[in-house]
Chain A
Amino acid sequence: MDDFDSLVNLEQTFFDEGYKDGFAHGRIHGLIEGRALGREKGFEMWEELGYYEGLAQTWKAYLSLQGTDDAAGRVLHHVNGLLDLISQFPLTNPSTATDTSSNGDELDILKLLRQIRSKHKLLCSSLGVRPRVHAADGSSASANEGNPEQGPSRKKKGSVWEVNTPSPNDDMDYEEDGGGRRQGGQQQQLLSF
């Protein structure tokens, strides 16, 4: 009777064979695509974070040169807070939940990202700088000066550096001042989760 099993279940056998084949093939493609997507998203995330970190470190260096008064102390506290949050962000892919995690609780990436963004906005507000985030589309970020809306006016009135590149879809001339800034303003944060 066993001899007839392979004959009777012929179609099922072929189906299983084909399924296994397809599954293996799909897995390969899936891994490739997943890896590419992960890389892209990871790049975007860290591009934003890198911007914040650079901003924070530059301001930290600047503030330590400025000496300490009350306002600077507060701002320095925010800067350090931001740097601290960014340092919590993983540089490598965190292991999946099955492994024993080194920190107490799971790392909530989205929440951390939100906290970092909030802290960055807070920092910009206390510095008197308008927050600007440029995603990966080629235009560069410039630390623009917003109007400091409160009290101790920053001694630095001119902008740190202004790098304006005309956007590819605009025929805007290379303007020093208003053009680049205005165009930067329209680019909202392209990153959203």
Chain B
Amino acid sequence: MSENLSYTVRSIAELEGHSDRAWNLAWNPKHPLVASCSADKTVRLYSYGVTTASALEPSLSFKTNQTIHTEHLKTVRAVAWSPSGRTLATASFDSNVGIWEQERDERDDEEDEDGQTGSLGSGDWECVGTLEGHETECKSVAYSPTGTLLASCSRDKSVWIWEVQPDAEFECMGVLLEHSQDVKCVAWHPHEDILASGSYDDTIKLYVDDPSDDWYCFTTISGHESTVWSIAWSPCGRYLASASDDKTVRIWAYVDVNPNSNSDNNRILQIKPPSAMTNSHGSGRWVQVAVLEGGERSVYSVAWGKGKQSEGGLGWLASAGGDGAVRVWDVQEPEAGSVVLKPKLVASYPEAHGVYDVNCVSWNPRPGLEDVIATAGDDGSVKIWRVVPSSK
């Protein structure tokens, strides 16, 4: 593979500790913490600190914070932080979703005005709730960007939507049985209350809340030739990327079908709930706007971050999969009048976890650290990388 890529993926840290494969990881959106979950039924938290060794490149140092020995009886398959950064949700193969919060002692309350506490305190994480309802293994869990909704999906082909109420109470808002097979992943749109799910049945479905308080599937996106393992919305909210067992990463957009729109108009429409969508631009439909070769094997995870490009753009798309390599694409706006995206591969790191599969890849969401990426692999370790411009 040619090494003339404009960026390099540089290893920053290797966090070991899990005794079995690490399935998933999540960066805390407000605090310098990253959580990883594993088949060994635990969730490990690592905290990091930013030290400005040089003005250009603040370096990060990681250390193990805690291990949460969850009460799950089986593998913990996914973790997700709430947008406030205070609650952690875990999805497990024992078909339950666990909700975890840190024990608060009085000292924490004092530091509350300043949201910049270095760490969340050192209390133990305790289980404040268990969401039961799925019949078989839970595969993924995700908080909506407002933090009011939590979605979970499972091998029993259903997607459950829960409303987060004060005091860690959850109320089930909807059970969606639209997929014909195992649902592998769920992801919320960054601005609207729209949920996307990917499944073993090769489709992606989008759901929205009907005013009469019923969630329903308003569109199905087909095109992948095999299981959709992972989905990620673009930060601008107009594109959806998906990673599949068919070794590709595809990007989808909602496009105006009106051929008379003048070329200045971006034909790619803002994604809005269907009730609002029909008002503008007539009707649109979902089309595939890019296909990326994700490697020689299945792509298990895709993540879309803001990235640190000097000019604008739609962000950086990272993928990881069975061939062990981590790839990063730079996505730019399409040319005027066209809807086709041409993401450019800017960085690649083969064998990120040695011979092991990489199960998850995720961008750091906190400001200033948009070039930091983490991966979790079958070797049980979590590795932290930084995407830096290649030295010329």
Chain A: residues with CB nearer than 8 A to chain B?
74, 77, 81, 114, 117-119, 121-122, 124-126, 146-147, 149-151, 188
Q: Mark B202-223, 1 if CB is under 8 A from A, else 0.
A: 0000000000011000000000
Interface size of B as a range: 20 to 34
Residue B311, interface by CB 8 Å: no
Smallest distance from the beta carbon of A117 to chain B beta carbons, Å? 6
Contact across chains for A149 and B131 when beta carbons are under 8 A apart? yes
Interface core residue of A117, A121, A146 (most chain B CB under 10 Å): A121
Who on chain A is nearest to B170 by CB? Answer: A150
With A118-B158, A121-B158, A126-B172 already in contact, the answer to whether A150 and B178 are too (CB < 8 A) is no
With A114-B177, A118-B176, A118-B177 already in contact, the answer to whether A126 and B132 are too (CB < 8 A) is no
Bound: A74/B132 CA distance, A: 19
Contact across chains for A125 and B133 when beta carbons are under 8 A apart? yes
Bound: A118/B215 CA distance, A: 10
16 contacts between A and B (CB under 8 A): A114-B177, A118-B176, A118-B177, A119-B175, A121-B158, A122-B173, A122-B175, A124-B133, A125-B132, A125-B133, A125-B172, A125-B175, A146-B132, A147-B132, A149-B131, A150-B171
Q: Which residues of B contact A146 (CB under 8 A)?
A: 132
Who on chain A is nearest to B216 by CB? Answer: A115
Q: Which residues of B contact A117 (CB under 8 A)?
A: 177
Which of B130, B175, B178, B214 contacts A121 (CB under 8 A)?
Answer: B175
Smallest distance from the beta carbon of A120 to chain B beta carbons, Å? 8
Q: Which residues of B contact A119 (CB under 8 A)?
A: 175
Q: Which residues of B contact A77 (CB under 8 A)?
A: 213
Q: Which residues of B contact A122 (CB under 8 A)?
A: 172-175
Bound: A122/B160 CA distance, A: 9
Contact across chains for B132 and A151 when beta carbons are under 8 A apart? no
Q: Which residues of A contact B171 (CB under 8 A)?
A: 74, 126, 150
Contact across chains for A150 and B169 when beta carbons are under 8 A apart? yes
* Shortest beta-carbon contacts, A-B, top 4: A125-B172, A118-B175, A121-B175, A151-B169
Q: Which residues of A contact B313 (CB under 8 A)?
A: none
Residue B235, interface by CB 8 Å: no
Contact across chains for A149 and B174 when beta carbons are under 8 A apart? no
Besides A119-B175, A149-B131, A151-B167, 12 other A-B contacts (C-beta < 8 A):
A74-B171, A114-B178, A118-B175, A118-B176, A122-B173, A122-B175, A124-B133, A125-B132, A125-B160, A125-B172, A149-B132, A150-B169
Smallest distance from the beta carbon of B283 to chain A beta carbons, Å? 19
Q: Which residues of B contact A149 (CB under 8 A)?
A: 129-132, 170
Q: Which residues of A contact B158 (CB under 8 A)?
A: 118, 121
Q: Which residues of A contact B131 (CB under 8 A)?
A: 149
Smallest distance from the beta carbon of A109 to chain B beta carbons, Å? 15
Bound: A81/B212 CA distance, A: 10
Smallest distance from the beta carbon of A108 to chain B beta carbons, Å? 13
Bound: A28/B174 CA distance, A: 46
Who on chain A is nearest to B161 by CB? Answer: A122
Q: Mark B157-169, 1 if CB is under 8 A from A, else 0.
A: 0101000010101
